[in-house]
Structure formats: structure tokens, C-alpha cells
Amino acid sequence: MVNPLNVEGANPFEIAQEAATQIAKISGISTHDIALTLGSGWAKAADLIGETVSEIPGSEIIGFSKPAVVGHVGTIRSIRLPNGKHALVIGARTHFYENHGVRSVVHSVRTAAAAGAKTMILTNGAGGIKPEWAGGAAVLISDHINLTASSPLEGATFIDLTDLYSKRLRDLARTVDASLDEGVYVQFRGPHYETPAEVQMAKIMGGHIVGMSTALEAIAAREAGMEIMGMSLITNLAAGIQTTPLSHAEVLEAGRNAEARIGKLLAEIVTKL
């Protein structure tokens, strides 16, 4: 199937607007206040943050594609929060390693912005460089290092990335759980995990979390003027930090073990926004 975002002459912002219009029509919710992208391990939060008004397969909305990976959920949900606000919950994340182009990677964020969302909560499953995060810690993202050699911005679009992951929102998250640690997220291209040498490089560079998403999405969310919160579930210690080989099965299991706890945490944070 042709990807409308990559057709010559396509305008990704117009397509995001069209996607938002489709979501409004199907869900009956004309404006969403906040948006969440739920990565590995975080899906349960969708059930805990409020009442699902509408759940739409990503394949029905322009520019979204089916999830490539077991453990990733491919729907877009409209949820009414207890405070009456509406959240758009995106389970249909497209990763950079899928090679659909960076426009596809950030389409969900641009769609959320077009749907009215002023706050973008980006979650992911990731590897941890700090040994004390073993066993499924949830950590806040304080900043990122983008090692994809790509950007969602096209042309001479110079965007400031200071305080990209809002200090205000990190502080708010800590009013729910004062013990939440934070760290610098390093986005690698994937889909392979890092070599132990690459993890050491990331550490020397100032990184604490290694993953394959989020940084490109955060840049697009900043361009769209949204306030951003990032959270990682540390499903494994990064290669060489843990002595055993990494496996997707291990990642899925850590997600299952943590999902109720982190879902509740995220739900509590969302009600305070």
C-alpha cells in the first residue's frame, strides 16, 4: 500500500489534520486535551486513566500503519478522564527502524496536535544504564541524545530544544511518586540492541536510558508547540550492564510484571494535568 506521507508533494501537516478530522468524526470527540503514546509495557494505562469513548484500529486512519511488533498495540483510543478532559491514546507507534520514513514516525504526534492536544506524554520500554534501575523501574526522561542521524523537521526549520521534556511536568509527576528518578534518553536507530561498547559510548556521552523511539517524536511535538513528558519503563539493563544476553521475551515479561504498577502511576499523573 502506498504511504500517503511519502507521496511526492505530500504535506505531512495536512495529512495529520485529515487524520485528526477522521478521529473526531469516528469518536465524536471534536477536541482532545492531551495525548499519550503508550510504548512497551504501558498499554494497561489506557484502561486506568478513564472511560474509553472510542477505539479505532490505526489502519482506519490516514497515515497510520499496522504495528510491526508483537507487544505493540495498534489502536487509537479516545478516553474521557474523570475531570472531563479527553485524552487521545496512541498505541499505533511507528518506529524509525521500520523504514517508513521519519514523517511516519512522527505522524501520530502531529495528529495529536491537530486533534487539539496541548500535552504530549511519550512512554516507551527501554534499556537502563544505571544498575539500580534493574527490575522494571519507571523513570522520567530529562533530556535526550538523538543518534538516529535524522530529524522530523524538514528544510531550514530551526527549533529550540531547551527544556524539551518539561521540568514542570517532571515535578508534577513527582507529586504522585516522589521516588521517580530521571535520566537522559539516547535514541538509537535499532532494531538491534546495542553492543556493550555502544552502551559505554552512550554512558560517556551522558546517557542513562537506551531506546529506539521517543526522541524524534519529542522534536515533532516541540515543533507543534506541545508540552512534553517522557517516561521509560526500564525492561532490561542495557547490553554489557546486565551480564546475560538481551531478549524480546525478557522485555515482554518485564512489561507484564510492571504494567499494573506503571499504569496506575500514569493514570494518577494524567488526572493532575
Nearer to ligand 8IG, 59 or 99 (CB): 99
Residue range at the interface with ligand 8IG (CB under 6 A); choices 27-35, 47-55, 79-87, 123-131:
123-131
Residue type present at position 185: Y
| Pairing of the two strands 138-146 and 75-80 | unpaired
Q: Does 194 bind ligand 8IG (CB under 6 A)?
A: yes
Q: Does 126 bind ligand 8IG (CB under 6 A)?
A: yes
Nearer to ligand 8IG, 57 or 135 (CB): 135
Q: Does 210 bind ligand 8IG (CB under 6 A)?
A: yes
Q: Does 141 bind ligand 8IG (CB under 6 A)?
A: no
Q: How many residues bind ligand 8IG (CB under 6 A)?
A: 16
In the list 212, 216, 229, 269, the residue contacting ligand 8IG (rule: CB under 6 A) is 212
CB 222 within 8 A of CB 161: yes
**Residue 43: CB minimum distance to ligand 8IG, A:** 13
CB 187 within 8 A of CB 216: yes
Q: Does 235 bind ligand 8IG (CB under 6 A)?
A: yes
Residue range at the interface with ligand 8IG (CB under 6 A); choices 20-28, 125-133, 144-152, 158-166:
125-133
In the list 35, 251, 262, 270, the residue contacting ligand 8IG (rule: CB under 6 A) is 251
Query: Which of 178, 172, 185, 181 lies closest to 270 in space, CA to CA?
Result: 172
Query: Which of 182, 176, 198 lies closest to 264 in space, CA to CA?
Result: 176
Active site residues: 194
Q: Which residue is nearest to ligand 8IG (CB)?
A: 127
**Residue 250: CB minimum distance to ligand 8IG, A:** 9
DSSP sequence for the chain: ---GGGSTT--HHHHHHHHHHHHHHHHS-S--SEEEE--TT-TTHHHHSSEEEEEEEGGGSTT----SSTT---EEEEEE-TTS-EEEEE-----GGG-S-HHHHHHHHHHHHHTT-SEEEEEEEEEESSGGGTTT-EEEEEEEEE-SS--S--SS-----TT-B-HHHHHHHHHH-TT-EEEEEEE---SSPPPHHHHHHHHHTT--EEESSSHHHHHHHHHTT-EEEEEEEEEEEPBTTBSSPP-HHHHHHHHHHHHHHHHHHHHHHHHT-
Site for ligand 8IG in 72-101 (CB under 6 A): none
User: How far is residue 4 CA from its own chain's centroid?
Assistant: 22
**Residue 68: CB minimum distance to ligand 8IG, A:** 14
In the list 125, 136, 152, 230, the residue contacting ligand 8IG (rule: CB under 6 A) is 125
Nearer to ligand 8IG, 88 or 186 (CB): 186
Residue range at the interface with ligand 8IG (CB under 6 A); choices 22-30, 61-69, 204-212, 258-266:
204-212
Residue range at the interface with ligand 8IG (CB under 6 A); choices 30-38, 42-50, 160-168, 231-239:
231-239
Question: Which residues contact ligand 8IG (rule: CB under 6 A)?
Answer: 40, 125-127, 188, 190, 193-194, 210-212, 235-236, 238, 246, 251
